[in-house]
Structure formats: C-alpha cells, structure tokens
C-alpha cells in the first residue's frame, strides 16, 4: 500500500519536472524574442517580423524536422536566430519542438 503510493508520487514528480524543464528552457532562451506564447509580440519580434507560432497555418506548414533544424542550426533567412546545437542537448531541442507544438491556437486566424 505505502510502496504503491510512493511509486505514483515519484512518477508524477518525474513528468512534472520534465514539463517544467522545457518551459524553463523556452523562458530562458527563447521568450525574449518569440514571447512566452510563441506569438513574438516582443521588441525583437516586431523589429524582425518574427512569425506567430500559434497560428494553425504556421504549425501546418512546418514539419517537426523543419523546426528542429532551425533550432539546432539557426535560421538561414535571419541571422538573429542563432544555432542552439552547442547550447542545448538533442533531447532539449526535441522537447522544444514538442513545446512549440503545444502553442497552436485552437481556432484558425
Ligand atoms: C535573438 C532573438 C531570438 C532568440 C533568442 C530565439 N529566436 Fe528563434 N527566431 C528568431 C528570428 C529573428 C527568427 C526568424 C524569423 C522567423 O522565422 O519568424 C527565428 C526563427 C525561429 C524558428 C523558425 C520559424 C519559422 O518560421 O519556421 C524557430 C522554430 C525558432 N526560431 C525557435 C526558437 C527557439 C526554440 C528558441 C530558443 C531556444 C529561439 N528560437 C530563440 C529570433 C530568435
């Protein structure tokens, strides 16, 4: 009885920590330009006309591989988007792709 409770608690603790970790990475390294919600309503977002990642059309027109590549290698269209492959682990980059997918707005613009 006691053992099972401990197991359940540690499992939920682990998933919670994972979600927090990717949110923290986003907050620390991406929010300044892309905004907390990916809409890029920031100074840099305005200056560089950064796309709104919450738009369903944005989400549909990029594959996970596209998103992953830009995070790892930078955006060839805009040097303000630096490569993160030396700053983040492959697992962190994968988690960010998943995190960006959660930003999709429920309705079409
Ligand atoms: C210094 C500002 C800045 C920071 C910090 C930044 N980006 Fe970017 N990002 C840009 C700009 C500018 C572009 C190019 C404009 C665009 O594609 O909308 C871009 C493009 C992208 C794209 C491709 C968008 C597309 O339209 O396909 C992705 C994905 C992305 N960034 C993810 C991230 C992630 C994840 C982080 C944090 C690890 C991050 N960015 C940090 C400025 C930034």
Q: Which atom of ligand 1 lies nearest, measured to the CA of 97?
A: 35
Q: How confident is the model at residue 103 (pLDDT cuts 50, 70, 90)?
A: very high
pLDDT band per the 50, 70, 90 thresholds, residue 3: low
Q: How far is the CA of 5 from the centre of ligand 1 (A)?
A: 42
**Sign of the CA dihedral running 13, 19, 23, 25:** positive
- Ligand 1, pocket residues at CB < 6 Å: 29-30, 32-34, 44, 48, 50-51, 62, 67, 70-71, 75, 78, 80-81, 84, 96
H helices present in 1-109, as ranges: 2-29, 31-34, 43-47, 56-60, 64-73, 90-101
Distance of alpha carbon 32 from alpha carbon 94, whole angstroms: 20
DSSP state of 77: T
> What residues does each domain of the chain span?
17-101
- pLDDT tens per residue, range 35-75: 999 999 999 999 999 999 999 999 999 999 999 999 999 99
User: Whose structure tokens read 């986003």?
Assistant: 26
pTM assigned to the model: 0.86
Span from the CA of 98 to the centroid of ligand 1 (angstroms):
15
Tokens of 23: 């949110």
Distance 107 CA to ligand 1 centre (A): 23
Does the domain made of 17-101 have the CATH classification 1.10.760.10?
A: yes
């Amino acid at each position: 009885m006691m053992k099972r409770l401990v197991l359940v608690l540690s499992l939920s603790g682990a998933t919670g920590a994972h979600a927090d970790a990717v949110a923290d990475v986003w907050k620390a390294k991406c929010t300044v330009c892309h905004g907390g919600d990916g809409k890029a309503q920031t100074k840099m977002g305005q200056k560089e006309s950064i796309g709104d990642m919450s738009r369903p059309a944005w989400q549909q027109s990029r594959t996970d591989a596209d998103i992953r590549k830009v995070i790892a290698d930078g955006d060839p269209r805009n040097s303000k988007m630096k490569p993160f492959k030396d700053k983040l682990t492959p697992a962190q980059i994968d988690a960010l792709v998943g995190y960006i997918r959660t930003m999709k707005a429920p309705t079409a613009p």
